[in-house]
Amino acid sequence: MGKPQKASRLIRQKSDPGKWEAFKEGDDQAYAEIYRDYIGELYPYGKKLCKNSDIVEDAIQDVFTELWRLRRNLGQVRSIKFYLLSCLRRQLIKRLNKDRRLVLNENYLIEDNFEFVSSEQELMISDQRELEEIGRLKKALNTLSKRQKEVIYLKFFQNLSYQDISSMMGLNQRSTYNLVSKAIQILKEKLILWLTLLLAVF
């Protein structure tokens, strides 16, 4: 497939059962469409887990290689996006754990790396006030713990269900609810503090 390119990040909340079944039966076009549909969401998520682009790209390549190799043994999926994101997360953890040099390198540590950075959409925004608001939200998001940042990203940026997030991160649903709730509370406090300081200045 070659190196993944940054594609459109349109949110797809439902999988296409027909496309998945066609892919499982060996349809090259369905396989290519699944790649095109979700590469734009896999790559940014991978980069939030691991800063090294080469490792992320290789992990994505492995996900799709294994997907094709094992296609006839795969069951039906509730969400193609959830399935692929889960596979990528496992593949990255496997790669980083396999090579201790990467685990010991702070630039690759999966537990510390989840970070909200500027997106292509933000770079196209010309309104300074809007950019400042995005910057404040991003700064607040990056004060969260790694797990809090990841659940917020999966819940509100990728529209995954609590059930899918729990399965993906190896948590029970109650823990996932609590993580999201605590993260939202922290964000509210951070943003309210900023608003209070702004009003005090003016």
165 confidence band (pLDDT: 50, 70, 90)? very high
DSSP-assigned letter for residue 79: -
Determine what percent of the chain is predicted with pLDDT higher than 90.
Answer: 38
**Residue 140's pLDDT band (cuts 50, 70, 90):** confident
With cut-offs at 50, 70 and 90, classify the pLDDT of residue 199. very low
The fold adopted by the segment(s) 17-104 is Rna Polymerase Sigma Factor; Chain: A (1.10.1740)
Average pLDDT over residues 98-120: 50
Mean pLDDT of the chain: 77
Compute CA 46 distance to the chain's CA centroid, rounded to the nearest angstrom: 6
pLDDT value of residue 22: 92
pLDDT digits (tens, 9 = 90+) for 63-106: 999 999 999 999 888 889 999 999 999 998 888 777 655 543 44
Tokens 């979700």 locate to 38
Is residue 147 classed exposed, middle or buried when 0-12, 13-18 and 19+ CB atoms within 10 A define those classes?
middle
Between 2-6, 112-116, 139-143, 183-187, the lowest mean confidence (pLDDT) is in 2-6
Domain boundaries, the chain: 17-104, 124-201
Q: Do 88 and 60 meet the contact criterion of CB atoms below 8 Å apart?
A: yes
Q: Which residues contact 108 (CB under 8 A, 6 or more apart)?
A: 50, 51, 52, 55, 96, 102
> One fold for both 17-104 and 124-201?
no
Between CA 161 and CA 155 the distance in angstroms is: 7
Provide, rounded to the nearest whole percent, the portion of the chain with pLDDT above 70.
Answer: 70
Structure confidence at residue 27 (pLDDT): 93
- Name the pLDDT band for 107 (thresholds 50, 70, 90): very low
CATH 1.10.10.10 assigned to domain 124-201? The reply is yes
Which residue type occupies 77? V
Angle at CA of residue 6, ends 73 and 78, nearest 5°: 30
Give the Cα separation of 41 and 35 in Å (integer).
10
Question: What pTM does this model have?
Answer: 0.69
88 torsion bin: left (phi>0), alpha (psi -120 to 50), beta (else): alpha
Give every CB contact of residue 84 below 8 A, 6+ residues apart in sequence.
34, 38, 42, 63, 67
Please check whether residue 162 is in contact with residue 176, taking contact to mean a CB–CB distance below 8 angstroms: yes
